[in-house]
Structure 1
C-alpha cells in the first residue's frame, strides 16, 4: 500500500477510516445508538437485512461486488454496527468462548501477515475454492472455509502467544533477580516516599 493510499480514503483501508471506525465504536460502546437504543433482535435483523441486500445486489450486479465489500461501504459499516450492538447487548458466561476469543486479535494478525496472506489467498487459493463449484453449496463452502481458516489461525496464534508468555516469564524472572531491577525498585520506593 502506498503512503498516500494509507493516509487518504483508499476504500476504507486507510488511517483516517481506521480512526473514524475507532471513534464510532467508542461512541457506540459508551452511548449506544444515536437516536434511540433498540432490542438486540432488531440489531440482529438489521445485520441479516444488510447481508441480504449485499447478497442480492452482488447476485444481480456482479460488477458491483468490489464496491459493496469495501470497508467504507455504508452497507458494510451498518452491518458491522448492527452486529456490534447485538453482541454488546448479550451477556453470557462461557469458558470455551472466552478461551477462543482471547486469541481473536492474534487470528486477525496471523491471517493478514505478509507471509500467511499470500498462502491463504494465493497458493492455497481459499477464495478460488469458495467461488468454484456448484452455486447450491456456496454458503456451505463459505462457512467451512471460514471455520478452517479461523481454526488454523487460532492454533498459530495460540502457539505464538504461549511462546511469548514463556519468553516473557523467563526474561522477567531474570530481570527481577538482577541488580538493575533492585536499584530501580528502590529508587521508585524512595520517590514514592518523598512524594507522600
Structure 2
C-alpha cells in the first residue's frame, strides 16, 4: 500500500499525461489524416461535428504545458544544468531515432540530417522544444520581474499581454510582434505570466468550483467546435479559430488548468508515467519517424477506410496505441540516456578530483 505522505501531488502530473494524449490526437489529424484526405470533404454531418469538437478539446495541449511550466518555474531556482540537459536529451532522442530509421532502412544516412539531429534544439527539429528552451533560459529574468511587481501590476501585465496576443494578433496578425498564432516566444511568455499569477494569487478575477471550470471547458470546446464546423461549411474554414492564441482556446486552457489545480491526487504510478511523457513528443515528432509513423504502418489507411463514428473511434484508438508505443520507446531511450549521463558525470567528476589532487 502506498504511503501517501511520500508521494508528491499528482494532479498536474496527470494533466501532463492528458496533454500528451491530446497532442497525439492532434497530430494524428494534422500529420496523419491531413496528409491523405481533406477532412471537410471526406467527413460530413454529425461525424464532422464530433471531429471538430475533439479537435477543440485537444487544441489546448501546448498551452497547458506552458501554463504548468509558468506555475512551477516561477517559484523555482534556475539551473543551468537543467538547460544543458534539455539540449542534450533532445539531441540524444533525435539522433537515436534518426539512426534507428537508418538501420531499419526507412531513410538514408546523411551528414546534414545527422548534424541537424545533433543540434535539433537550435535547428527547430521540435518547434516546441526550441521555444521552451529559450523560455527557460530567460526564466530567471521573468521571475525577477514577477517578484518585483505587485498584484495589480501583474494583473495589468496579463491584461496588456491578452490584448496584444489574443485580440490584436488574433484579429490581425503581424509576424514582427512574435505571437505567431501562439507558436512564438511572446505568447509563451504570456502563458508563463498566467501560470505565475495563479501560483501567487490562486486565481484570476474570480475562483469557481472545479466542476464549474470543467463545465466551462466543455461548453467552450463545444462552441469552438461548432463554430469551426460552421466556418468550414460556409467559408471554407477559418484557421484562426484553432490557433493557440484564440481567446476561446486560452479560456479553455485556463479552465482545464484550474480544474486540475483543485484536484487532490497522490499516485506514484501517475508520477512514474508522467516522467516519460515528454519523450513521447520527442519520439513521434522526430522528422524522419513522423513520416514513417503516418505513412508506413497503415494507421491512416485503416482509419479512412471506416465510415461514421467508427472513423472517430479508430482515430482515438490509434492515438492511444501510438501514445503507449511511444511511451515505451521514450522510457527505453530515457533510461539509456540517464545511464550514459550518470557514467559520464561520474567520470568527469573523477577527472576533476584527480586533476586537482597534489
Q: Same fold (TM over 0.5)?
A: yes
Match of 2:259 among 81, 86, 89: 86
Distance 1:115 1:158 in 2: 20
Change (3 A) 1:97 1:171: same
The 2-side partners of 1:128 and 1:118 are apart by 14
Deviates more, 1:119-128 or 1:159-168: 119-128
Residues 119 and 17 of structure 1: CA distance in aligned 2, closer, same or farther (over 3 Å): farther
**Higher RCO (Cα < 8 Å, 6 or more apart):** 2
Greater Rg by CA = 1
Alignment: residue pair count: 182
- Residue 246 of structure 2 is matched in structure 1 by 73
Cα shift at 1:71: 0.9
Post-superposition shift, 1:89?
Answer: 0.8
Q: 1:153 is matched with which residue? A: 326
Matched, 1:47 2:217: yes
Structure 2: which 5+ residue stretches go unaligned?
1-123, 125-173
TM-score w.r.t. structure 1 length?
Answer: 0.77
> Do residues 9 (structure 1) and 179 (structure 2) align?
yes
Report what 1:30 is aligned to. 200
Aligned match of 1:166 = 339
Partners of 2:290 and 2:177 in 1: CA distance: 22
SS at match of 2:188: helix
Superposed counterparts of 1:86-125, under 5 Å: 86-120=259-293
How far 1:5 moved relative to its partner?
5.2
TM-score by length of 2: 0.45
Distance of 1:181 and 1:111 partners within structure 2: 41
For structure 1, which runs of at least 5 residues remain unmatched after alignment? 187-196
Does the CA contact (< 8 Å) of 1:8 and 1:14 recur in 2?
yes
Tell me how far 1:41 sits from its aligned partner. 0.4
